[in-house]
Amino acid sequence: MTTARQIDAEQLLYMYRTMVTIREFEETAGRLAEQAKIPGAVHLYAGEEAIAVGVCAHLDPADTITSTHRGHGHCIAKGGDVRRMFAELFGKSEGYCRGKGGSMHIADLDIGILGANGIVGGGPPIAVGAAFAAKYQGNGRVCVCFTGDGATNEGTWHEAINFAALHRLPAIFVIENNHYGEFTPQERQGAIARLADRAASYGIPGVSIDGQDVIAVYEAAREAIERARRGDGPTIIEGDTYRFYNHTGMSEGDPRPQEERAAWRQRDPIAILRGVLEQRAILSGESAERIHEEVRREVEGAIRFAEAAPYPDPSELLTDVYSD
């Protein structure tokens, strides 16, 4: 049983609302993708919300993150604007990338989001550079590198952590272990069960936590981020989690066992936090419903914004390849 000690009610409610926002965003995006209103692939973060939210709750806008193909949740947790996110998914000019990036490349450099990434293991080398810049400039910033379990088998991940550990860079490597690399179970992709054990080979701490419990994530992230800010170097945090939908899209063709999926649905991170909040009398059924309703309205408003936004002018095709 988790406790919410040391975390004030305002922070807990902020995390609850943010997790609900991610869920609403993702389920809406999934439905729109099924209706072919969103082109390409969407990789939904639903089920994994506690990790992005519990980590990013500690970050200032100037701190940076690198994200993944399953990146919508990180973006929202880091303060991203759901209107501009939906506009990007629709390929509109009001989107974060003015329609040039789409789901897998949403970035907002103004608030430290150094991009979702279509390449598994694409983010870690960039995180090294961002963390190095923070150290070089002495500005106290940290960089959080989110990856899935799949990326931990990529060379880039190992090279990045070795480098960050060697130079004691202010980086945190968060593994969202949802137990599947695309469609293949994690135990068929590597010989160790606890991915955080890999920290030993870099001489840094590694912790495995319940990734469905936002309070456990929050506390592990606090320690790792404080350590990084102190100049004591990186930490690996492995959050045990599960995606509620298929690798891409929603549930169609999901090869994972029905009983496994049902069991994880019983460990919904939003329901777990709601239980804690109700127990502490921070949230009533009525106030929870109000949050859900407000979030639904926000997402509906974002869809309207995105639908009304213009497409990019074809003349923009060749702009932004280079800086002037």
Partner 1 sequence: MTTTTGATATAQREITYLQAVNEALHHEMERDSKVFVAGIDLAARGDVFGTTRGILSRFGSERILDTPISENAIVGLAVGSALQGLRPVVSVMFIDFIGVCFDVILNQMAKNKYMFGGKARLPLVVLANAGAGGGMAAQHSQSLEALLCHIPGLKVVMPSMAADAKGLLTSAIREDNPVFFVQHKRCARLRGHVPEGEYVVPLGKARVVREGRDATVVATAYMVHEALAAAERLAERGIEIEIVDPRTLQPLDIETILASVQKTHRVLTVHEAVQFGGIGAEITSQIVAEAFDHLDAPPARLGGPWSPVPYSVVLEREWIVNADKIHDAVVALVEGGEG
Binding site for partner 1 (CB under 8 A): 64, 66, 95-101, 105, 107, 109-110, 114-115, 117-119, 121-122, 124-134, 136-137, 143, 155-156, 159-160, 162-163, 166-167, 319-324
**Closest distance of CB 167 from partner 1, Å:** 8
**Closest distance of CB 278 from partner 1, Å:** 41
Closer by beta carbon to partner 1, 127 or else 207: 127
**Closest distance of CB 102 from partner 1, Å:** 8
Closer by beta carbon to partner 1, 2 or else 93: 93
Alpha helices in the chain (DSSP H): 9-34, 49-56, 72-77, 82-89, 123-137, 155-166, 214-230, 258-265, 269-279, 285-308
**Closest distance of CB 289 from partner 1, Å:** 37
Q: Using CA of residue 181, residue 185, residue 186, residue 188, what is the dihedral sign?
A: negative
Residue type, 51: I
Two structure tokens written together for 23: 């869920």
Closer by beta carbon to partner 1, 162 or else 189: 162
**Closest distance of CB 145 from partner 1, Å:** 10
Closer by beta carbon to partner 1, 167 or else 256: 167
The number of angstroms, rounded, from the C-alpha of 150 to the middle of its chain's C-alpha atoms is 15
Closer by beta carbon to partner 1, 164 or else 283: 164
User: Which residue from 24, 21, 77, 70 is spatially nearest to 44, judged by alpha carbons?
Assistant: 70
| Residues with Cβ within 8 Å of residue 86, at least 6 apart in sequence | 25, 29, 95, 299, 302, 303, 305, 306
